[in-house]
Amino acid sequence: MGRPIRNIAIIAHVDHGKTTLVDALLAQSGIFRQGEAVPSCVMDSNALERERGITILAKNTAVDYGQTRINIVDTPGHADFGGEVERVLGMVDGCLLVVDANEGPMPQTRFVLKKALEKGLRPIVFINKVDRPQAMPDAAVDKVLDLFLELGADDDQCDFPYLFGSGLGGFATADLAKGNDTLQPLFEAILRHTPPPVGDSDKPLQLQVTTLDYSDFLGTIAIGRIHNGTITTGQQATLIRGDGAMKRGRVSKLLGFQGLRRLEIQAAAAGDIVAVAGFSGVNIGDTIACGDSLNSKALPLIKVDEPTLQMTFMVNDSPFAGQEGKFVTSRQLRDRLHKELLTNVALRVQDTTSPDRFTVCGRGELHLGILIETMRREGYEFQVSQPQVIFRTMDGDICEPYETVVLDVPERTVGGCIERLGTCRGEMQNMATSGDGRCQMEFIVPARGLVGFRSDFIRMTRGEGLMSHSFLDYRKMEGELQARHTGVLIAFETGVATVYALKNAEDRGQFFIHPGTRVYKGMIVGQHTRPQDLEINVCKTKQLTNMRSAGAEELDTLQTPVEMSLERSLGYIGPGELLEVTPESMRLRKLPSRKPAKR
């Protein structure tokens, strides 16, 4: 319990190499046996994280360097999961800011650095990926300093230590001319520049819960940092909730971290990060204090920025309802959404006047999309409405959220991107070209203009563009935005789509379905070429007669249908339309009250 401790969070923009750097730190700390198979991105344990190649949940690990225990927290890099970053920064005393040597600081770099500076942390800057051909490490350091000054950092914070290196290559150095082949300089910098945790082991216990886990054997597991006092297995303690209510309990199990494992320990002291079992109904931000109610004091609650986007989750009432899902009732849907609130601090769930509908508020399309994808994989069946931004009234004016958007695109696609963001009321702030035929542009765009923009952006840049965005602030609402240009094709009857019907209707638009897809009346099956909606019969079959036509033996070929992924579907649906989500499929549909023109 008396050994030196350092608590540090690794923060950066998405894809700048945080998780890969943690892999290298774990490997070089000696926690893996010689010859042991170590997967890449070992901290991304969630299936969705591995599929998408992003970090969604903040996770912590611990390594030993010499006689010092270093607790490392890996955080998400995407702006939609900023709530994960905000709640874990209170666990640490320092942070390691990872910046790509080629791209430099990006929107999420600004967001996470601002939060770290507000907490009074002094970051260590690691310029990553210096072994790449286009790397400009010295320019990246200058850009980081400009960002520090822009965010109002004090003199001590602006005098930040910085290192160059590569998480993938597993090396760090203070001088590129000298070089190095290990991360030892980074370990030394962490020990030298990260202050030891403040806290008094002799004071009454105070542990703030920042992460929740669950075990079938231990129940709810609360993970957090001990701010004061000591905690031992079997001791009596008091759980202080966010509303001030107190509940007595006993520490049934105490776990410490070592690499990727949790080890049972008997005691821990101020400054350490531990996992505690034995308290039911615990929430993020609650305080586990000493058993003496007179000395039990709660720590300040964790504050996170408010959500900017909302959707309505509702029970599926389509003609195919209940055929593919395991959990389909309003009670099951409500229980699952409220369970998510226990661990997702940036999420808000509100009941509506209808018992079958719930308003869910989040940080962005990806934040809500990950929740929807997780629920459908668990067997839930439901439907969601079009995402809407959350407006606020400030000084008598209706205000809306604005975001900073950075696009890195091939030069040939610059015009199309500028024109598309212009229709969203986007304002260009900066534009720079590089020698490799790419261009980087920075815009300020209303958040409602970005709903559905990502799928258009991928199509315009043919998958070669990089897009990132983060919340900027609330500004006065500036008029209406241009809605979707085209209408939709709607199934006229329930049945199975046929090649014959789809072939005959190809001139009407582009389809979202394949032949053999089950459809129902009111289901959206494609995009119309004209502004109005149109009902068509996609189940019509060819009449079987004994007559032969000149082209009877020709093989019919269909245009490739548009694959509507979850994110693309959320961005596509408009007012009066819903996305039906089941474990096996996703379907777009019209609300029954709307009656489009009939063919």
Q: How many residues are there in the chain?
A: 599
Confidence (pLDDT) at 79: 54
Tokens 């534009």, residue located: 431
**Cα(527)–Cα(562) distance, integer angstroms:** 9
Q: Over its length of 599 residues, how does the chain's per-residue pLDDT go in tens digits?
A: 467 888 888 888 777 777 788 878 877 776 544 444 455 444 444 455 445 445 445 567 788 888 888 888 877 655 555 566 767 777 888 888 888 888 888 766 777 788 788 888 888 999 988 888 878 888 888 988 988 888 888 888 888 888 998 888 888 888 887 777 888 888 899 898 888 888 888 888 889 888 777 777 787 888 888 888 889 998 888 888 877 888 888 889 898 887 767 888 898 888 888 889 888 878 778 888 887 766 678 888 777 667 888 899 999 998 888 888 899 999 999 999 988 887 777 788 988 888 899 999 987 777 888 889 889 999 999 999 988 888 888 888 888 888 888 888 888 888 888 888 888 888 888 888 876 778 888 888 888 888 777 777 877 888 778 777 777 788 888 777 766 678 888 988 899 988 888 888 888 888 888 888 899 998 999 888 888 888 888 888 876 665 555 545 445 677 788 888 888 888 888 888 899 999 998 899 988 754 444 44
| Nearest of 526, 535, 543 to residue 494 by alpha carbon | 535
**Cα(211)–Cα(567) distance, integer angstroms:** 27
Confidence (pLDDT) at 557: 75
**Cα(237)–Cα(231) distance, integer angstroms:** 9
Does 20 appear as a known binding residue? yes
Does 130 appear as a known binding residue? yes
Tell me the pLDDT tens digit for each residue of 258-289: 776 788 889 888 888 888 988 887 877 888 88
DSSP state at residue 532: S
**412: how many CB neighbours lie within 10 A of its CB?**
12
Does 494 appear as a known binding residue? no
Does 595 appear as a known binding residue? no
Task: For residue 360, give every residue at least 6 positions away whose Cβ sits within 8 Å of its Cβ, in sequence order, or none.
Answer: 310, 311, 312, 313, 337, 347, 348, 349, 350, 368, 371
**Cα(91)–Cα(139) distance, integer angstroms:** 32
Class of domain 5-193: alpha beta
H-helix segments, 14-76: 18-28, 47-52
Does 129 appear as a known binding residue? yes
Does 193 appear as a known binding residue? no
Q: Supply the DSSP string of 432-499, one letter for each residue.
A: EE-TTSEEEEEEEEEGGGGTTHHHHHHHHTTT--EEEEEEEEEEE--SPPP--SS-EEEESSSEE--H
**Cα(273)–Cα(208) distance, integer angstroms:** 10
- Burial per residue of 373-388, b for 16 or more beta-carbon CB atoms within 10 angstroms, e otherwise: bbbbeeebbbbbbbbe
Task: For residue 537, give every residue at least 6 positions away whose Cβ sits within 8 Å of its Cβ, in sequence order, or none.
Answer: 491, 492, 493, 501, 599
| Nearest of 585, 589, 593, 520 to residue 320 by alpha carbon | 520
**Cα(418)–Cα(189) distance, integer angstroms:** 43
Give 488-598's CATH code, choosing from 3.40.50.10260, 3.40.50.720, 3.40.50.300, 2.40.50.250: 2.40.50.250
Confidence (pLDDT) at 540: 85
**Cα(41)–Cα(333) distance, integer angstroms:** 32
Distance of CA 73 to the CA centre of its chain: 16
Tell me the pLDDT tens digit for each residue of 166-179: 888 888 888 887 77
**pTM of the entire predicted model:** 0.73
Class of domain 392-476: alpha beta
Q: With beta carbons less than 8 A apart as the criterion, state whether 60 and 71 touch.
A: yes
Does 343 appear as a known binding residue? no
User: Which tokens go with 415?
Assistant: 């015009």
Element (H, E) at 275: strand 273-277
Does 528 appear as a known binding residue? no
User: Which tokens go with 386?
Assistant: 């079009």
Confidence (pLDDT) at 260: 66
Confidence (pLDDT) at 553: 45
Q: Beta strands 388-389 and 392-394: pairing type?
A: unpaired
Confidence (pLDDT) at 315: 93
Confidence (pLDDT) at 68: 86
CATH architecture of the domain 206-290 equals Beta Barrel (2.40)
**Cα(249)–Cα(293) distance, integer angstroms:** 12
Task: For residue 122, give every residue at least 6 positions away whose Cβ sits within 8 Å of its Cβ, in sequence order, or none.
Answer: 94, 156, 157, 160, 193
Element (H, E) at 210: strand 206-215
**Cα(513)–Cα(586) distance, integer angstroms:** 11
Residue-range domain boundaries for the chain: 5-193, 206-290, 392-476, 488-598
